[in-house]
């Protein structure tokens, strides 16, 4: 995101990756906050939530895999 690949990647793609990466970190923080508060059940639910951590992880992974393929095409 900060190296040579930036110059060969469409701005919309970079924006999508950066935004999704930030969402992933927010969702990961929610999981860690639940753990820190001793609410392990909430942490487990958050980890598996398709609208939370699991969804953010899947979206980010998809974007990064597609981006890597595009860079190597």
Tell me if residue 73 falls in helix, strand or coil: coil
Residue 4's pLDDT band (cuts 50, 70, 90):
confident
Distance CA 43, CA 7 (A): 38
pLDDT one-digit tens code per residue, 9-34? 888 888 999 999 999 999 999 999 99
Distance CA 45, CA 69 (A): 32
pTM (two decimals):
0.85
């Amino acid at each position: 995101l900060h190296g040579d690949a930036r110059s060969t990647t469409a701005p919309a793609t970079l924006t999508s990756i950066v935004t999704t990466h930030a969402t992933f970190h927010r969702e990961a923080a929610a999981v860690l906050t639940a753990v820190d508060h001793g609410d392990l059940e909430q942490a487990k639910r958050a980890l598996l939530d398709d609208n939370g951590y699991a969804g953010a992880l899947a979206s980010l992974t998809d974007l990064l895999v597609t981006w890597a393929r595009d860079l190597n095409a």
